[in-house]
């Protein structure tokens, strides 16, 4: 009997490890929906349907429940796990494939207990372990809104998992271990704004689903809440008030601006967070944005992470690649063009312990998702075709450890692993000659084996010289007046 019980627990743990609250892979907003709908301007005074519309935006429901080219909320977007795929549910009121047979009571139970209208367990890919904090009033409003949508018939096999992960009943053990049923209980010692922010962040916003690391059973490590978490092919950054890796260097106004517009002087939102801004936070009213900011800024800051010093050779190679490939937009000293090309100097996202997001963006590029306030989708190009694994590792290490930034060095093996995971092709230009560190290769604007720091100056094309003893780099040429930094004077800004 003990062996049987132990086996059941082990199977439950294995299932939970894979299935507990992953977010879908990062994708442009076009893969979720064409454009965000305007949400209700003020949820508390709206009709139930309008209030539900607003709350659906707060929960970012459209991003997960809409597949590329599909009808809104009709489900089918793939949530990838190492052991298989779960497809998101159809939230339209179709009786056969959607929520047409749900009642307000069974809908509330699904949010609070992870059990569907027929009594079957749901997987926490649907983040009911956060939605359990949603009030009955808000649950009923959400249900009213989804029931008001045009029904869409969308047959699909949502559970594409192998045994034993396809045994839904095993989730009962996971729920017993980790589900803290709600609803949200206000903290009387805190302000109304703080409590509203906590309700949104910890509930419908389900921010911990991405920004908190998971234990081996797939549950959030609540003692490390909001310190950053790995999901799919990205790493959601630390959003505690840590001044180096978190949002501790952002003012309240800057944080609100980022959530509302997807940009501020520190950063631009792209990838998965770009979708969150486009379809969720940009639709929130001013009071709720302020409440979210107040709550996040009140969290305890994460501790300083472990770092190590990169080698001088790697930093030298990374500097050359930075100047050739990155400085035109992000500027020579990493200061960027705020609100257009994000600063790398002091950027928390590039200083995370886990470099996955930085490497993802360098290899595959990224695009800022447009919002009604800022409709221009600025794009960072991909460099997978141009830079090999060593070069990507070098430039990533350089930008993570320059201009006051501090973060662990990146290995070429890590780059190669992500390149294969992203199914990217091979580099299409020749690798640099052996021993050449200042020039990343012939596929750049300057000829091979020239000092790329001269680019944009009258000395451009000068042959690279051996580094003199002492400082590990050749003396810079005297710059003409009017261009004291040596930055490019023309071309893209």
CA of 493: how far to CAs of 328, 341, 395, 484, in Å?
6, 9, 20, 17
Q: What interhelical angle do 252-261 and 286-298 show, nearest 10?
A: 130
pLDDT band at 231 (very low <50, low <70, confident <90, very high): confident
* Rounded Cα distance, 109 and 483, in Å: 66
Give pLDDT tens digits for 36-85. 444 444 455 579 999 999 999 999 999 999 998 899 999 999 887 655 67
* 13 and 135 fall within a common domain: yes
Strand-strand pairing, 229-231 and 159-161: unpaired
* 279 and 353 fall within a common domain: no
* 183 and 122 fall within a common domain: yes
* Rounded Cα distance, 75 and 61, in Å: 10
Q: What single string gives the DSSP state of each residue in 156-221?
A: ---EEE-TTTT-GGGHHHHHHHH---------TTS-HHHHHHHHIIIIIT-THHHHS-B-TTS-B-
DSSP class of residue 74? -
* Rounded Cα distance, 122 and 406, in Å: 42
In this predicted structure, the answer to whether residue 488 has a pLDDT above a threshold of 70 is: no
* 287 and 316 fall within a common domain: no
Q: Give the neighbor-by-neighbor strand order of the sheet with 84-87.
A: 78-81, 84-87, 159-161
Are 248 and 241 within 8 A, CB to CB? yes
Are 351 and 394 within 8 A, CB to CB? no
Give the domain CATH number at 334: 1.10.760.10
* 428 and 346 fall within a common domain: yes
Q: What is the pLDDT of residue 454?
A: 63
User: The domain containing residue 342 runs over which residues?
Assistant: 312-454
Q: Residue 398: inside a domain, yes or no?
A: yes
Q: What does pLDDT average to over the chain?
A: 82
Give pLDDT tens digits for 393-443. 999 999 999 999 999 999 999 999 999 999 886 676 544 444 444 444 444
* 91 and 155 fall within a common domain: yes
Residue with tokens 């020749």: 430
* 281 and 348 fall within a common domain: no
C-beta neighbour count of 14 within 10 angstroms: 17
Last residue of a domain, one of 435, 454, 473: 454
**Exposure class string for 105-128: b at 16+ Cβ within 10 A, else e:** ebbbbbbbbbbbeeeebbbbbbbb
In this predicted structure, the answer to whether residue 5 has a pLDDT above a threshold of 90 is: no
Give pLDDT tens digits for 315-373. 999 999 999 999 999 999 999 998 899 999 999 999 999 999 999 999 999 998 888 88
**Exposure class string for 167-180: b at 16+ Cβ within 10 A, else e:** ebebbebbbeebbe
The tokens for 50 are 């309008």
* Cβ neighbours of residue 4 closer than 8 Å, sequence gap 6 or more: none
* 276 and 171 fall within a common domain: yes
* 138 and 239 fall within a common domain: yes
Q: Residue 103: inside a domain, yes or no?
A: yes
Residue with tokens 């992203």: 422
Q: Give the mean pLDDT of 181-193.
A: 94
Residue with tokens 């301007």: 41
Are 81 and 19 within 8 A, CB to CB? yes
Beta strands in 300-439 (DSSP E): 366-367, 379-380
The tokens for 344 are 């790398």
Count the domains in the chain. Answer: 2
* 60 and 155 fall within a common domain: yes
The tokens for 488 are 């490019």
Beta strands in 1-122 (DSSP E): 78-81, 84-87
Q: Residue 393: inside a domain, yes or no?
A: yes
Residue (of 290, 291, 112) closest to 199 by Cα position: 291
DSSP class of residue 121? B
* 74 and 52 fall within a common domain: yes
Bond preceding residue 183 cis, omega within 30 of 0: yes
Q: Residue 462: inside a domain, yes or no?
A: no
Last residue of a domain, one of 267, 298, 329: 298
* 112 and 184 fall within a common domain: yes
Last residue of a domain, one of 271, 298, 325: 298
* Cβ neighbours of residue 62 closer than 8 Å, sequence gap 6 or more: 32, 33, 36, 37, 56, 72, 73, 279
Q: What percent of the chain is helix, strand and coil (3-state, nearest 5)?
A: 40, 5, 55
Q: Residue 270: inside a domain, yes or no?
A: yes
């Amino acid at each position: 009997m003990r062996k049987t019980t132990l086996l059941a627990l082990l199977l439950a743990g294995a299932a939970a490890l894979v299935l507990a609250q992953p977010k879908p892979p990062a994708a442009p907003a076009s893969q979720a929906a064409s454009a965000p709908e305007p949400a209700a301007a003020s949820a508390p005074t709206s009709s139930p349907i309008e209030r539900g519309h607003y709350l659906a935006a707060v929960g970012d429901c459209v991003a997960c429940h809409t597949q590329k080219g599909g009808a809104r909320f009709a489900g089918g977007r793939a949530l990838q796990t190492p052991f298989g795929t779960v497809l998101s549910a159809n939230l339209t009121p179709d009786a056969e494939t959607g929520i047409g047979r749900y009642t307000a009571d069974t809908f509330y139970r699904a949010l609070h207990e992870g059990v569907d209208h027929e009594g079957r367990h749901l997987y926490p890919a649907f983040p009911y372990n956060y939605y359990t904090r949603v009030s009955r009033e808000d649950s009923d409003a959400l249900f009213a809104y989804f029931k008001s949508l045009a029904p869409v018939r969308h047959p699909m096999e949502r559970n594409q998992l192998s045994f034993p992960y396809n045994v839904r009943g095993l989730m009962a053990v996971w729920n017993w271990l980790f589900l803290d049923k709600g609803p949200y209980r206000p903290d009387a010692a805190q302000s109304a704004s703080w409590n509203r922010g906590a309700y949104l962040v910890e509930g419908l916003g389900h921010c911990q689903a991405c920004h908190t690391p998971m234990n081996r059973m797939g549950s959030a490590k609540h003692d490390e809440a909001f310190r950053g978490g790995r999901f799919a092919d990205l790493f959601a950054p630390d959003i505690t008030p840590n001044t180096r890796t978190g949002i501790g260097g952002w003012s309240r106004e800057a944080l609100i601006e980022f959530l509302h517009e997807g940009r501020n002087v520190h950063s631009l939102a792209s990838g998965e967070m770009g979708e969150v801004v486009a379809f969720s936070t940009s639709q929130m009213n001013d009071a709720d944005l302020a409440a979210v900011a107040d709550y996040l800024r009140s969290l305890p800051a994460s501790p300083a992470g472990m770092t190590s010093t990169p080698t001088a050779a790697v930093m030298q190679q990374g500097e050359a690649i930075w100047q050739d490939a990155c400085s035109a937009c992000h500027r020579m000293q990493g200061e960027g063009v705020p609100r257009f090309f994000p600063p790398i100097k002091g950027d928390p996202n590039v200083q995370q312990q886990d470099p996955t997001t930085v490497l993802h963006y360098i290899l595959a590029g990224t695009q800022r998702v447009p919002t009604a306030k800022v409709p221009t989708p600025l794009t960072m190009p991909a460099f997978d075709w141009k830079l090999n694994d060593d070069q990507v590792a070098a430039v990533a290490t350089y930008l993570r450890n320059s201009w006051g930034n501090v973060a662990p060095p990146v290995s070429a093996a890590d780059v190669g692993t992500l390149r294969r995971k992203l199914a990217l092709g091979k580099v299409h230009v020749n690798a640099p000659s052996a021993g050449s560190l200042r020039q990343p290769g012939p596929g750049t604007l300057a000829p091979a084996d020239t000092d790329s720091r001269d680019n944009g100056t009258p000395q451009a094309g000068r042959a690279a010289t051996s580094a003199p003893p002492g400082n590990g780099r050749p003396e810079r040429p005297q710059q003409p007046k009017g261009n004291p930094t040596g930055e490019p004077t023309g071309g893209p800004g």
